[in-house]
Amino acid sequence: MEDKSEVIAYLQSLNSEARGIEKSIFEICWYMRGGITLEEAWQLSYDQRTTISELISKNIERTKESGLALL
């Protein structure tokens, strides 16, 4: 049987990963401004979430460089 501390550490890492995914989903929905629902965002694959997050980051940088407000 595994040590309890190893199991606890593993469960904590899973919880941390789940919170990160949840945060990513909420960020995508916020930046998409209604272009994708929360339900649709949860159906995205890891690769799709990563691609959308990269596009969002690039658009944020472009917005900063242009001096326009990002609402």
The domain spans of the chain are: 4-66
Dig out the tokens for 46 from the structure.
């890891």
**pTM, full prediction:** 0.77
Other CB atoms closer than 10 Å to residue 36's CB: what's the count?
Answer: 16
Q: Which residue has the tokens 């629902």?
A: 37
Q: Which of 40, 43, 49, 48 is nearest to 20 (CA)?
A: 49
1 band by pLDDT with thresholds 50, 70 and 90: low
Determine the average pLDDT of the residues in 16-36.
95
Determine the average pLDDT of the residues in 63-70.
82
Determine the average pLDDT of the residues in 28-47.
95
DSSP 36: S
Determine the average pLDDT of the residues in 7-36.
95
